[in-house]
Structure 1
Amino acid sequence: MSNTDWLTLSLGEVVALQRGFDLSSDRRIAGKVPVVGASGVIGWHDQPVVASGGITIGRAGAMGVVTRVREPFWPLNTTLFVTDFHGNDPDFIYYFLKNFDFTPYNSGGVQPMLNRNYIRNIPVQIPPYSAQKAIAEVLGALDDKIEANERQIATLNDFCSAWHQHITNRTNTNSATQTLTELVERGFLAVGDGYRTKQSEHGEPGLPILRVADVGHGAITPSFTHYVSNAYRGAMGSKVSQQGDVILTTKGTVGRVALIEAGQPDFVYSPQVCYFRLAENSPVSPLFMLYWFQGKEFWSQAGGLKGQTDMADYLSLRDIRTLRITVPSPADLSEFSRVCNPMQEQSEAARRENHTLTVLRDTLLPQLVTGKIRVKDAERIVEDAA
């Protein structure tokens, strides 16, 4: 691939930019059509206003965020959307726009804003169609593998959730439940919230702070943006992560839960993240508790507690300690572990692979769509990483 083949065009010659449409939340009717705002899919409606898939660009607010939609959808007026690619490869255009820096073209005041008539005149360099296809295939293969891994993780999670519920239903009698406080008092469980840091304590080298935004459903994706200096490690005490900790978000977005896996670096928990640390002789394993936090028994008790304030949802440590968990028999816990521990290992392996693939994709993307690396060289790098 030679950059001498690339064309210099205006953005408006590459794609047809259209502005999205109003659809207030009170006008939406429950359905399966994605409603796409500036930051991505934000809801659902019963009918599309765009009859095909396409690409959206955040116009107001989350300016420049690019989202690909593969089905009929409703783009809101906070977006610009593209369904006409003027003969260019849609997949390449998606990656090209993902890499494009719209920041210098902000025409807003207090709120970031993109003006369609302004940005359509931006000069860009685009490779021939055959090169576009080749670039999109390299990046798409990585994304396809990432998506396949995500589906596998979701399937394994659903199976273990169902198996956990099966065990719970089988042993769920009043005598088989204990409060978390009872588990703490018997020495089976340690519970705590995070470390309240002062700005003066921030610094590197230090421990990264694990915040609510870093906790997903079943796993963490640390941002590594803020650190507490190692000089204060002694003050952090038990609030430093340990392998096997089950963590729960308790403020704002309540109920995201994950397990600290082997090989992860140490973190210090933020105050909105609670940890649950089980002893080796506990009648409840970390994995069993992880799925308890996702299950009906937990939410039937916690659902009404988290919205008791007029402010953001919040689940206090005091309330959490009062919750009752079904304690399985040793035989049932062994059966659960025999079935679900290997699945958890598969999920962890898939997440590790996805981390590697994501870093590789994000490294190759800007180089490929700007012609700084040849497709053949990128293919070789991907093969070596496989």
Structure 2
Amino acid sequence: MAGDSVFECTVGDVAALGRNSLVGGPFGSDLVSRDYVPSGVPVVRGSNIGHGRWVDGEFAYVAPEKADALAANCAKRGDLVFTQRGTLGQVALVPQNGADRYLISQSQMKLTVDAQKADALFLYYVFTSAEQQAYIRQNAIQTGVPDTNLGILRNTPLTLPPLAEQKAIAAVLGAFDDKIELNRRMNATLEAMARALFQSWFVDFDPVRAKLDGRPPANLDPATAALFPEHLEDSLIGHIPKGWEVCSLASKIKLLSGGTPKTSEPDYWDGDIPWYSVKDAPSETDVWVIQSEKHVTKLGIENSAAQILPEGTTIISARGTVGKLALVGTPMAMNQSCYGVRGVKGYGDYFTYFALRQATADLQQRTHGTVFDTITRQTFETLDCIFPPANLTQAFDRTVAPLLTKLRANLHQSRTLATLRDTLLPKLLSGELSLPAAMLAAQAGVAGTTDKV
């Protein structure tokens, strides 16, 4: 551990004085699904941990009165929340700019830290370290679903440097996460801009309606504006721009199949080719998939139904969790539970991706299967959609390309920053790397330098 003086203790030793500083979730019958309401006090569940430093994501809520009744199980700003059962090792902080309080679910535990002994952000990084993750796995209760408990958490050993050094280490590591979070927010804006443009052009027909009203289409150069017709016409599914067509989704796309190399053949796996499954699906705001949990070899591709998908291919999950989308950001293969989708000749990659996003809800309603929800090639034939001429989809691709290119670059930068942060983490905790050297590395990394430490 960095520094000349360290403090050997347990998690229980750094819990704040007073009651309920280290507690689990409420008793099972005290919090059930019928307690959830549309708004109120957020409930931290497993799905709200794993988004980086902070509890985040889509929350369930309980009424303030319910939270009052379960006040002992509430977490406040700056508290640490740990997963108790299921995906062990998850940890997150309650954000300072979030709600005043959060109710933790039955599968979580929370720690209020004594600020005179430990820094909560530093402890977050300690618990994300490989050493601490290994300790959690080794001490888990393995009967049935792996779980841990308050006693195990309370007695978890810690080695802490002086408080000032804890804060300094947390600040260095936090600089990486601050930049990653900034990239995430920027990407959400970029994706929203591209999605709004698709909605305006191809769903609301704003440029066509502007021409109908005798106005020039807003924010369009003359060449692009000229691609839009000046009138609407009747179709089987309502008014559409003149010259556009209503046809099956299948008629404007090409479907590519996936496959799985034999898992019993070690020469087929752990190669350098990403192999996509639905668990690798990015969030809607990230759009691109640039990495995967598993990788295959060229030999695995050659001896299976898997194929390499080029950049710009849209992947859609077709079995189980149907409708998860990803835009391929680096050549990769995928399993047989997905389809790769390319537009027919002349139809752009980005238009195809957003057209599929627009059609996802309808595709999900057309699923079938006795065990898993499934869409097949025939499913795409059952869905009629509105399609503009190919040259207009190409204009859309040219317009949104700078947005999506920057979005992908941000994802790559965030991945590089996360790798550098994870490289620094054990070196800082062990004292192998001094704080001044780490600060220089952080400054260089956040500025875009990718030199290895």
**TM-score interval w.r.t. the shorter chain?**
0.7 to 0.9
Pick the aligned partner of 2:365 from 304, 321, 324.
304
Pick the aligned partner of 1:115 from 127, 149, 156.
149
**Is 1:35–2:95 an aligned residue pair?**
no
**Is 1:253–2:316 an aligned residue pair?**
no
Q: Secondary structure at 1:325's aligned position in 2?
A: strand
* 8 Å Cα contact 1:105/1:119 also seen in 2: no
CA distance in 2, matches of 1:367, 1:40: 29
* 8 Å Cα contact 2:424/2:438 also seen in 1: yes
The structural deviation recorded for 1:107 is: 3.3
2:349 corresponding residue in structure 1: 286
Pick the aligned partner of 1:25 from 29, 33, 57.
33
Pick the aligned partner of 1:74 from 84, 96, 103.
103
2:159 corresponding residue in structure 1: 125
Q: Secondary structure at 1:251's aligned position in 2?
A: coil
CA distance in 2, matches of 1:330, 1:193: 24
CA distance in 2, matches of 1:237, 1:115: 45
**Is 1:192–2:256 an aligned residue pair?**
yes
Structure 2 stretches of 5 or more lacking a match? 16-20, 50-57, 209-238, 448-453
2:377 corresponding residue in structure 1: 317
Kindly provide the CA deviation profile for residues 125-146 of structure 1, in whole angstroms up to 9, marking residues without a partner as x: 1011111111111111111111
Q: Secondary structure at 1:254's aligned position in 2?
A: coil
2:76 corresponding residue in structure 1: 52
Matches within 5 A, 1:227-238: 227=296, 229-236=297-304
* 8 Å Cα contact 1:38/1:63 also seen in 2: no
* 8 Å Cα contact 1:37/1:76 also seen in 2: yes
Q: Indicate how the Cα distance of structure 1 residues 81 and 176 shifts in structure 2: closer, same or farther if over 3 A, else same.
A: same
Matches within 5 A, 1:1-386: 3-15=3-15, 16-22=21-27, 23-31=31-39, 33-38=41-46, 40-41=48-49, 43-46=59-62, 47=64, 48=67, 49=71, 50=74, 52-53=76-77, 54-70=79-95, 71=98, 72-87=101-116, 88-99=118-129, 100-101=132-133, 102-168=136-202, 169-170=204-205, 173=240, 175-183=244-252, 189-201=253-265, 203-204=268-269, 205=271, 207-216=273-282, 217=284, 218-220=287-289, 222-227=291-296, 229-236=297-304, 239-261=307-329, 264=330, 266-278=331-343, 281-282=345-346, 284-295=347-358, 298-306=359-367, 308-330=368-390, 332-385=392-445, 386=447
Q: Secondary structure at 1:274's aligned position in 2?
A: strand
* 8 Å Cα contact 1:13/1:86 also seen in 2: no
CA distance in 1, matches of 2:123, 2:318: 40
CA distance in 2, matches of 1:358, 1:163: 31
Q: Secondary structure at 1:241's aligned position in 2?
A: coil
1:186 corresponding residue in structure 2: none
CA distance in 2, matches of 1:253, 1:260: 19
Q: Secondary structure at 2:85's aligned position in 1?
A: coil
Q: Indicate how the Cα distance of structure 1 residues 85 and 292 shifts in structure 2: closer, same or farther if over 3 A, else same.
A: farther
Which amino acid in structure 2 is aligned with residue 36 of structure 1? Answer: V
TM-score, reference length from structure 1: 0.87
CA distance in 2, matches of 1:239, 1:82: 48
The structural deviation recorded for 1:108 is: 4.4
Q: Indicate how the Cα distance of structure 1 residues 330 and 59 shifts in structure 2: closer, same or farther if over 3 A, else same.
A: closer
Q: Indicate how the Cα distance of structure 1 residues 75 and 331 shifts in structure 2: closer, same or farther if over 3 A, else same.
A: same
The structural deviation recorded for 1:69 is: 2.1
TM-score, reference length from structure 2: 0.75
The structural deviation recorded for 1:324 is: 3.0
The structural deviation recorded for 1:359 is: 0.9
Q: Secondary structure at 2:373's aligned position in 1?
A: coil
Q: Indicate how the Cα distance of structure 1 residues 9 and 294 shifts in structure 2: closer, same or farther if over 3 A, else same.
A: same
* 8 Å Cα contact 1:11/1:119 also seen in 2: yes
The structural deviation recorded for 1:322 is: 3.3
Structure 1 stretches of 5 or more lacking a match? 184-188
Which amino acid in structure 2 is aligned with residue 135 of structure 1? Answer: I
CA distance in 1, matches of 2:430, 2:23: 25
CA distance in 2, matches of 1:9, 1:345: 48
The structural deviation recorded for 1:257 is: 1.3
Kindly provide the CA deviation profile for residues 99-158 of structure 1, in whole angstroms up to 9, marking residues without a partner as x: 223122223422222232244233321011111111111111111111111111111111
Q: Secondary structure at 1:303's aligned position in 2?
A: helix
Kindly provide the CA deviation profile for residues 311-360 of structure 1, in whole angstroms up to 9, marking residues without a partner as x: 33322222024333332235633542343111111111111111111111
CA distance in 2, matches of 1:135, 1:249: 41
Which amino acid in structure 2 is aligned with residue 173 of structure 1? Answer: I
CA distance in 1, matches of 2:381, 2:172: 50
Q: Indicate how the Cα distance of structure 1 residues 146 and 200 shifts in structure 2: closer, same or farther if over 3 A, else same.
A: same
Which amino acid in structure 2 is aligned with residue 192 of structure 1? Answer: L
CA distance in 2, matches of 1:237, 1:109: 38
The structural deviation recorded for 1:192 is: 2.4
The CA RMSD measured in Å over matched residues stands at 2.6
The structural deviation recorded for 1:200 is: 3.9
Which shows bigger deviation, 35-44 or 313-322? Answer: 35-44
